[in-house]
Amino acid sequence: MKIYQNARFDRLPDAILFDTDNTLYHYDPAHEAAQHAVREKVVDAFSITREEFDTAFKEARRQVKERLKHTASSHSRLLYLQRMLEILGLGSQVLLALDFEQTYWRTFLSNATLFDGVKDVLDDLRLLGVPTAIVTDLTAQIQFRKVVYFGLDHYFDYIVTSEEAGFDKPHAAPFQIALEKMRPKGERIWMIGDNPVNDIQGGRQKINAVTLQKVHAGVELGTGENAPDASFSSFNDLRKLIAKMGELR
């Protein structure tokens, strides 16, 4: 645990907001396994090369994101796969698009593992009476599925997705909706996430949150206006910080 702004850690927070993807679990291994499974299935189904799949999928993703901008549906694996099939000259192929999407998420979840200590931290926060919420991008259905899969549905008080908010982070809406739901007793809010722009800059600028960045392989520590107030690589270290602050209150 590295604290860069000591004055912001003089007491327990009144509420804590958590990002999900790549914060509570390591996103990259799960995504890579899922993308590989879909690639192999498409290659086998249509006798195309892996390179053709990668090129078409990359272009499909680019087009969907360009059209939908910073909305939950811009992350839709189903839309990527539908557009990929169209780019390959195969039409929308609705049934296959659905099948490929299910392959992706089934493989993704089976390869996704919570970071050590996540549930311990959440247990501690509940005992200390600190309310918690998830503030996450992407559509509600898949984010709800992740929360249930990880067994976290009884650990968090609330969840806000960018589908509900209408905007991805760092837009103010997801943060503000979470606070409206939580109604914290004070203004000391923590935002915990991995993304230096969406989570750290967004949390600080939109709700004046104390920001903590989860860092691990593939995550770069934020700098400048994206610099967190603290960073940690292990949830067990975060747990120690919370325990220490709980003793001071």
| Spatial contact of 137 and 18, defined as CB atoms under 8 Å apart | no
Q: Which long-range contacts (CB under 8 A, 24 or more apart) does 212-217 make?
A: 212/238, 214/19, 214/22, 214/23, 214/115, 216/26, 216/115, 217/26, 217/28
Cβ-count burial of 231 within 10 angstroms (0-12 exposed, 13-18 middle, 19+ buried)? buried
Q: Which sign does the torsion angle of CA 147, 148, 150, 153 carry?
A: positive
DSSP for residue 20: -
To the query of whether residue 194 is one of the catalytic residues in this protein, the response is: no
- Catalytic residue (one of 10, 14, 21, 116): 21
**What is the rounded CA–CA span in Å between residue 77 and residue 26?**
19
To the query of whether residue 229 is one of the catalytic residues in this protein, the response is: no
Cis peptide before 228 (omega within 30 of 0): no
The distance from CA 31 to its chain's CA centroid, rounded to whole angstroms, is 13
Alpha helix locations (H) across 150-216? Answer: 162-165, 172-182, 202-207
Catalytic residues: 19, 21
